Amino acid sequence: MRTLSPQWRRVLVGSWIMILVLTVGLVVLYADNKRTRSCISDYMVADQKNTIARAELADTERTAFNHLLVVLLDARNSQAVRKAAFEGYVALVQRDDVLRKQSPPLKVPTECS
């Protein structure tokens, strides 16, 4: 059985070192990619919930505004009913503005920690 010459032994050892370095690099990149994907998916889920909540607020305001117009334009309603409908709509808009300020649109993450 023949043994490898010192030159080929160096080549073989260098190849194994290169394989080891590339394997470590691949594992590090895999872990970083997984962490980044997790960060992005968490942001997307939170942003989707925030968007749905804002859309629901807008839908509620739109419905209340339509109701306000119906009440204001109906001649059979008294001044007190019209005033109550208007005040209810204003209170709803103010409440929704407070909710919007409490949960502003999320900023897109530029780095994941």
Taken as a whole, the chain contains a residue count of 113
Distance CA 10, CA 22 (A): 18
Q: Domain map of the chain by residue range?
A: 6-102
pLDDT in tens, 57-112: 999 999 999 999 999 998 898 999 999 999 999 999 999 999 889 888 888 877 77
* Number of Cβ atoms within 10 Å of the Cβ of 85: 19
Distance CA 89, CA 49 (A): 25
SS3 103: coil
Grade residue 7 by pLDDT with cuts at 50, 70 and 90.
confident
Distance CA 50, CA 104 (A): 8
Mean pLDDT of 7-19: 90
Task: Indicate the burial class of 3 (C-beta count within 10 angstroms; 0-12, 13-18, 19 or more).
Answer: exposed
The confidence score (pLDDT) of residue 27 equals 95
Nearest alpha-carbon partner for 47 in 99, 108, 89: 108
